[in-house]
């Protein structure tokens, strides 16, 4: 039986957040803000990631960090904490810090979507940039996931060269940055983020479905950045890991993607 949706007013964005059953995936819930679905959580099987862009990040991480050692992860933009839940199963004993500027959202999600047993997560209500210089100034993370903005309406201070430099400084030497970029044709915002990331990181990779690289469709792309270049076999494995269909571009192919 479908349960009545839970609702909470979000003062920062001036919208209602709603959590409701996903009738197509038993044991799953969807978080929506306003009329737009934002996150999907499988409470019964948190190791399963339903939304394509989140699954792409999870699959890349499994390729680039195949050993199941605990990691320290920072989630900038909490949503329903899907990847923290996933990593608590895939990388047991990992620790997580989740940042969201919307105070009511973190409380709402943690109340109605309980974390898996053993998920070590610290929520912080803060701006995703100021928190790096304040509460987390002395912290280094193995993985940072930035999942806040969509297109040119993104908060400008989270899209600059300077912010990517601060993200780099918050990563361990072998750390990984994943950025979810939502964009519309002709993907000018995506190219601005590739440039910004490239100003601080030695290696930048972009992943999505092949149709997104035609620049004719709206959708999500995953930017992955690191201090070290990935091996060729790792790059191929990231593409093969899907979700399908999958395409990965880097180096000269990525430079060509952003030329007029």
pTM for the whole structure: 0.95
- 3-class SS at 188? helix
In a domain, 60, yes or no: yes
Q: Hey, what are 150's tokens?
A: 């969509």
Q: Hey, what are 138's tokens?
A: 């002395």
pLDDT digits (tens, 9 = 90+) for 69-117: 999 999 999 899 999 999 999 999 999 999 999 889 999 999 999 999 9
Query: Residue 151's pLDDT is what?
Result: 65
Cβ-Cβ contacts under 8 Å for 47 (sequence gap 6 or more): 86, 89, 90
What's the total number of domains in the chain?
1
- Contact indicator for 184, 231 with CB cutoff of 8 Å: no
In a domain, 1, yes or no: no
User: What CATH number corresponds to the domain at position 229?
Assistant: 3.40.50.150
Residue 26 phi, psi (nearest 5): -55, 135
In a domain, 215, yes or no: yes
- Contact indicator for 222, 56 with CB cutoff of 8 Å: yes
Query: Residue 2's pLDDT is what?
Result: 60
Query: Residue 244's pLDDT is what?
Result: 87
What are the distances in angstroms from CA 107 to CA 45, 56, 104, 256? 22, 27, 5, 44
In a domain, 6, yes or no: no
In a domain, 8, yes or no: no
What is the domain extent for residue 56? Answer: 50-257
Query: Residue 200's pLDDT is what?
Result: 97
Q: Which residues of the chain have pLDDT under 50?
A: none
Name the nearest CA neighbour of 125 among 148, 96, 107, 100.
Answer: 100
Residue 11 phi, psi (nearest 5): -70, -30
In a domain, 250, yes or no: yes
Query: Residue 163's pLDDT is what?
Result: 97
């Amino acid at each position: 039986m479908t349960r009545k949706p839970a609702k909470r007013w979000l003062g920062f964005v001036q919208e209602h957040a709603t959590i409701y059953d996903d009738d197509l995936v038993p044991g799953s819930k969807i978080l929506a803000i306003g009329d737009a679905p934002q996150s999907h959580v499988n409470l019964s099987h948190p190791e399963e990631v339903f939304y394509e862009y989140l699954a792409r990040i999870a699959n890349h991480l499994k390729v680039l960090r195949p050993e199941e050692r605990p990691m320290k992860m920072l989630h900038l933009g909490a949503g329903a904490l899907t990847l923290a839940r996933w990593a608590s199963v895939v990388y047991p004993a990992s620790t997580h810090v989740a940042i969201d500027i919307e105070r009511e959202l973190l409380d709402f999600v943690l109340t109605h979507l309980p974390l898996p047993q053993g998920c070590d997560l610290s929520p912080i209500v803060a701006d995703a940039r100021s928190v790096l210089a304040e509460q987390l100034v002395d912290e280094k993370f193995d993985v940072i996931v930035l999942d806040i903005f969509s297109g040119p309406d993104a908060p400008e201070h989270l899209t600059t060269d300077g912010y990517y430099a601060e993200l780099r400084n918050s990563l361990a030497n072998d750390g990984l940055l994943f950025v979810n970029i939502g964009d519309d044709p002709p993907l000018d915002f995506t190219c601005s983020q590739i440039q910004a990331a490239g100003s601080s990181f030695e290696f930048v990779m972009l992943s999505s479905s092949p149709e997104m690289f035609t620049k004719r469709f709206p959708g999500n792309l995953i930017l992955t950045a690191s201090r070290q270049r990935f091996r060729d076999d790792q790059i191929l494995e990231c593409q093969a890991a899907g979700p399908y269909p999958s395409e990965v571009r880097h180096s000269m192919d990525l430079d060509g993607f952003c030329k007029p």
